[in-house]
Structure 1
Amino acid sequence: MSRRRRTMSMQFKEQLAKDLGFYDVVKQGGWGSITSKEAGNMVKRAVEIAQQHLAQQSMNQQK
Protein backbone atom coordinates (compact mmCIF):
# COMPACT_ATOMS: atom_id res chain seq x y z
CA MET A 1 0.00 0.00 0.00
CA SER A 2 1.43 3.37 -0.96
CA ARG A 3 1.57 6.24 1.44
CA ARG A 4 -0.32 9.42 0.65
CA ARG A 5 1.73 12.55 0.41
CA ARG A 6 0.88 16.22 0.52
CA THR A 7 -2.60 16.07 1.89
CA MET A 8 -2.16 19.72 2.85
CA SER A 9 -1.06 22.34 0.37
CA MET A 10 2.20 24.12 1.05
CA GLN A 11 0.30 27.40 1.35
CA PHE A 12 -1.99 25.92 4.03
CA LYS A 13 0.95 24.47 5.95
CA GLU A 14 2.75 27.81 5.87
CA GLN A 15 -0.37 29.62 7.08
CA LEU A 16 -0.76 27.16 9.95
CA ALA A 17 2.89 27.64 10.92
CA LYS A 18 2.41 31.41 10.87
CA ASP A 19 -0.76 31.18 12.96
CA LEU A 20 0.95 28.89 15.48
CA GLY A 21 4.06 31.08 15.67
CA PHE A 22 6.84 28.87 14.32
CA TYR A 23 7.03 29.90 10.67
CA ASP A 24 10.39 31.58 11.28
CA VAL A 25 11.79 28.17 12.31
CA VAL A 26 10.46 26.66 9.07
CA LYS A 27 11.96 29.49 6.99
CA GLN A 28 15.37 29.05 8.61
CA GLY A 29 15.63 25.28 8.79
CA GLY A 30 12.85 23.77 6.70
CA TRP A 31 10.01 21.55 7.81
CA GLY A 32 12.39 19.03 9.33
CA SER A 33 13.47 21.56 11.92
CA ILE A 34 10.16 21.86 13.73
CA THR A 35 9.56 19.87 16.88
CA SER A 36 7.16 16.96 17.03
CA LYS A 37 4.99 19.04 19.37
CA GLU A 38 4.80 21.82 16.76
CA ALA A 39 3.96 19.30 14.05
CA GLY A 40 1.28 17.80 16.26
CA ASN A 41 -0.18 21.22 16.98
CA MET A 42 -0.23 21.94 13.26
CA VAL A 43 -2.12 18.71 12.52
CA LYS A 44 -4.50 19.35 15.42
CA ARG A 45 -5.29 22.82 14.07
CA ALA A 46 -5.76 21.48 10.53
CA VAL A 47 -8.26 18.91 11.85
CA GLU A 48 -10.12 21.62 13.77
CA ILE A 49 -10.38 23.73 10.62
CA ALA A 50 -11.58 20.74 8.58
CA GLN A 51 -14.24 19.93 11.19
CA GLN A 52 -15.43 23.54 11.17
CA HIS A 53 -15.73 23.48 7.38
CA LEU A 54 -17.67 20.20 7.45
CA ALA A 55 -20.04 21.52 10.11
CA GLN A 56 -20.58 24.69 8.10
CA GLN A 57 -21.28 22.68 4.93
CA SER A 58 -23.73 20.50 6.82
CA MET A 59 -25.57 23.55 8.13
CA ASN A 60 -25.69 25.08 4.65
CA GLN A 61 -27.17 21.90 3.19
CA GLN A 62 -29.89 21.81 5.84
CA LYS A 63 -31.13 25.28 4.87
Structure 2
Amino acid sequence: MSRRQGIMSDRLKLELAEELGVADVVSREGFGGVSSRNCGNLVRLAIERAERQTMQNN
Protein backbone atom coordinates (compact mmCIF):
# COMPACT_ATOMS: atom_id res chain seq x y z
CA MET A 1 0.00 0.00 0.00
CA SER A 2 1.47 3.37 -0.98
CA ARG A 3 1.59 6.41 1.27
CA ARG A 4 -0.87 9.16 0.58
CA GLN A 5 0.82 12.16 -0.98
CA GLY A 6 0.49 15.34 1.07
CA ILE A 7 -1.10 18.52 -0.14
CA MET A 8 1.79 20.77 0.91
CA SER A 9 5.13 20.56 -0.83
CA ASP A 10 8.21 19.75 1.21
CA ARG A 11 9.57 23.20 0.35
CA LEU A 12 6.48 24.90 1.79
CA LYS A 13 6.60 22.77 4.93
CA LEU A 14 10.24 23.72 5.47
CA GLU A 15 9.48 27.42 4.91
CA LEU A 16 6.70 27.25 7.49
CA ALA A 17 8.95 25.37 9.92
CA GLU A 18 11.57 28.11 9.56
CA GLU A 19 8.93 30.79 10.11
CA LEU A 20 7.72 28.99 13.24
CA GLY A 21 11.26 28.39 14.50
CA VAL A 22 11.23 24.59 14.44
CA ALA A 23 13.38 24.02 11.36
CA ASP A 24 16.22 22.75 13.55
CA VAL A 25 13.98 20.03 14.99
CA VAL A 26 12.82 19.08 11.48
CA SER A 27 16.40 18.85 10.21
CA ARG A 28 17.44 16.63 13.14
CA GLU A 29 14.36 14.44 13.62
CA GLY A 30 12.04 15.06 10.69
CA PHE A 31 8.48 16.29 11.09
CA GLY A 32 7.79 13.40 13.46
CA GLY A 33 9.90 15.19 16.07
CA VAL A 34 7.78 18.33 15.98
CA SER A 35 5.36 18.64 18.90
CA SER A 36 1.63 18.32 18.29
CA ARG A 37 1.16 21.96 19.25
CA ASN A 38 3.73 23.11 16.71
CA CYS A 39 2.26 20.83 14.04
CA GLY A 40 -1.05 22.60 14.64
CA ASN A 41 0.74 25.93 14.36
CA LEU A 42 2.27 24.82 11.05
CA VAL A 43 -1.20 24.02 9.74
CA ARG A 44 -2.50 27.39 10.97
CA LEU A 45 0.34 29.19 9.17
CA ALA A 46 -0.35 27.23 5.98
CA ILE A 47 -4.05 28.16 6.11
CA GLU A 48 -3.23 31.83 6.72
CA ARG A 49 -0.82 31.85 3.80
CA ALA A 50 -3.37 30.18 1.50
CA GLU A 51 -6.05 32.67 2.54
CA ARG A 52 -3.71 35.61 1.84
CA GLN A 53 -2.89 34.24 -1.60
CA THR A 54 -6.57 33.69 -2.35
CA MET A 55 -7.39 37.28 -1.37
CA GLN A 56 -4.53 38.63 -3.49
CA ASN A 57 -5.68 36.65 -6.54
CA ASN A 58 -9.26 37.98 -6.38
* Structure 2 residues without counterparts, runs of 5 or longer: none
Report how far residue 5 of structure 1 moved.
Answer: 2.9
TM-score w.r.t. length of structure 1: 0.83
Two-structure CA RMSD over aligned residues (Å):
1.4
* Structure 1 residues without counterparts, runs of 5 or longer: 59-63
Report how far residue 56 of structure 1 moved.
Answer: 0.7
**What is the aligned partner in structure 2 of residue 39 from structure 1?**
39
- Percent identity among equivalent residues? 38
Q: Which runs of 4+ in 1 moved over 2 A?
A: none
**One-letter amino acid of the structure 1 residue matched with residue 17 of structure 2:** A
Q: For this pair of structures, how many residues does the alignment match? A: 56
